Amino acid sequence: MPFYYFDTSGLVKRYSRERGTRKVNALLAKRGKTAIIGTTSIAEFYSVFALKAREGELTRDDWYSVIYKFEAESDRGLFHFVSPSGRTFVTTKRLILEYPFLRASQAINLALAMELKPLRLSLVSSDRQLLELCRPHGITPINPEDG
């Protein structure tokens, strides 16, 4: 059974036609898969689409449609959500001390994925910095923008 952890960049591709969308949709269509999202990515997800609407890439109605589709798919169980704990933030601090170039969202996503490592999951992201840190921490990286 494949487990996929999606950061915001991976999740956005589900609801936006861009490079990597087909790969994300193929992963989410796999039988027996579990798609996991950190709860901290939800606000970031809404913010990305708000920006797309402000910049004219989407109409306001399209933006609301994306939100509706995401929430409907979530309600139907397409995604499983994990919340950071105190332990997650200790790991986040350690990661930022070790890799000072990490942004907060990168560190939180990596820390959550590390906590879920016993599932032998893959982290789905188009964030190259984040993906480069997966293998040293025992996580399989998947960049949907690659072939």
pTM: 0.95
Per the rule left: phi > 0, alpha: psi between -120 and 50, beta: everything else, 11 is alpha
Helix (H/G/I), strand (E/B), else coil: 129: helix
- Consecutive H or E run containing 72: helix 60-75
Average pLDDT along the chain, 147 residues, taken 10 residues at a time: 96 95 97 96 96 94 96 97 97 97 97 97 97 97 92
Residue 50: Cβ within 10 Å count: 14
Q: Which CATH architecture has domain 3-142?
A: 3-Layer(aba) Sandwich (3.40)
- pLDDT score, position 54: 95
Domain ranges of the chain: 3-142
C-alpha distances (whole Å) from 48 to each of 7, 9, 118, 132, 142 are 12, 9, 30, 23, 21
